Amino acid sequence: MWAKSPRFERTKQIDPNVLSNSFTKLVANLPKRLISLYMYFRTRHISLNQHLHRIKRSITPNCPICADSEETIHHFLFVCPQYDRERFVLSRKLGRKASSLPFLLTDPSAMEHFLRYVNSTGRLKSSFGEVLLPPAPVKQ
């Protein structure tokens, strides 16, 4: 059903791998909460004001900090001055690729740093709580 929905069509244009094996593999060992986080980012249904406004959960589509910019995923990750420090940390870890949304959402090597960015902004805390990776299981 999902594959026939208009949302899937739209998602496919953004990222053809949205339901691919590579995505399944990427999130396979994550807690459910983090899998949803990735899904919502990929389908652009993440709880930032632009989306919340569209579903009538926010009176404004704009960023709570930047009154004249819509709070899109792009704004949240790459533009908003509120998160300059967190963004700096991210780009120290990932270099230029830190400003590529497909890279952040699909590359296993980006996962830890992407989640740390999201977590340290605190912006999605009310929807997802802490979004850090769980510690690796101790090998017996």
Residue 106 CB, nearest distance to Zn ion (Å)? 25
Closest to Zn ion by CB, 23 or 76: 76
Q: 60 by DSSP, 3-state: which?
A: coil
Binding mask 80-119 for Zn ion (x = CB under 5 A): x---------------------------------------
**What is the residue type of 129?**
G
Q: How far apart are CA 140 and CA 106, in angstroms?
A: 30
Closest to Zn ion by CB, 17 or 91: 91
Closest to Zn ion by CB, 18 or 48: 48
Does residue 65 touch Zn ion according to CB under 5 A? Answer: yes
Choose, by CB under 5 A, the member of 66, 89, 101, 133 that binds Zn ion: 66
Asked whether 52 and 58 are in contact (CB, 8 A), the reply is yes
Q: How far apart are CA 87 and CA 78, in angstroms?
A: 7
Asked whether 113 and 100 are in contact (CB, 8 A), the reply is no
CA distances from 63 to 38, 70, 95 (A): 21, 6, 26
Closest to Zn ion by CB, 50 or 119: 50
Stretch that binds Zn ion, among 15-23, 46-54, 64-72, 87-95 (CB under 5 A): 64-72
Binding site for Zn ion (CB under 5 A): 63, 65-66, 80
